[in-house]
Amino acid sequence: MYLELPKSLEIVVNQAHQVAKHVFRPISRKYDRAEHDYPKELDMLAALMDGLNAGSRNRGTGIDALQREQGCEQGVRNGANMSTCLGMTELCWGDVGLAISIPRQGLGNEAITAVANAEQKKRFNGVWAAMAITEPGAGSDSANIRTTAHLDGEQWVLNGEKIYVTAGSRADAVVIWATLDRNLGRAAIKSFVVPQGTPGMEVVRLDKKMGIRASDTASIALTDCRIPKENLLGTSDIDTKRGFSGVMQTFDNTRPVVAAMGVGVARAALEHARELLGREGIKVRYRGPLFSKRAAEAELIRMEAEWEAGRLLMLKAAWMADNGVPNSTEASMSKAKAARVANEITLRCVELCGGVGYSEQELLEKWARDSKIIDIFEGTQQIQMLIIARRLLGKRSSELR
């Protein structure tokens, strides 16, 4: 594994950085204040990404292109997972909420890529799909899902409630996680594509949030919602030995992307704090011991080291996915570390910059608010630590809670 930026991905990183700098940053505060207003500026960006994805040799660079490779016959490679993580890092350097609001780049698209069969991937190509997992009684424990699905002739009938659905009101469709049989636990959980406007599916509320306000977060009610039999992703067979592994592969692919979000926003805070402190005469000197430096200077150096650790874990998890190496543990490690680092760095940068950092005069306070969600969605910090512990100790979920 080489730690330098691959030349083949330099154009992706540069394009994403230009979008973050010239599109996201100028409108960041606007949509932070105008929560639930749709960022129309993203439509042109989405069309551009569609063009890039259509012409890419690696199946594209967006989240809908993520996929674990089944072994690498041509040696070490950097594919869609690495490309997406590097691009997301740059986009979130600009704005996290806008980055996760780009049309046709929803988490539901990754679920379709990870689980759907060939016919479904073709049928749902170009669809913007949100993903609905969390319920009032099932947060981080996805296996506790209570939304039900039963087959009635040639249609699935869904009943339940989903909350905290990113892009739930804007997306073309929502991928609903539901159980075929509550008595069979994880194995019976499947994912279903429900087009927006389907009778029985209703967006009942848009939540006001601490951060990522440019992104809509919806609560959805399902009442005898009927969808075609073919809209179940994958197979309806219940395999008690590995039934849940298919949908959980979604997380193996997307958790490094969430880590990239943390890496991006933390870098933005570090760079801006260094700039603001530099105006006051505080320059970072890397030579010499920390105890000989100013407190703010030493703190910036310490945070940079933590940031680098999160970045390297993110790169490793993405690289493993691109090279066909099982990465469940590393995906959780990268997400846990980068999310914690993002929280600590953004808040500490606000503190170091004093009143300027705390005011809306700068984006530091916004980045501190935005960064918290990275530690929560796609599995909280505590859940990631639990997953890692189970993997390292060889314990099942019933043995280690």
- Give me the active site residues, please: 378
Q: Which of 329, 342, 387 is nearest to 368 (CA)?
A: 342
Distance CA 377, CA 234 (A): 24
Question: How many other CB atoms sit within 10 Å of the CB of residue 4?
Answer: 5
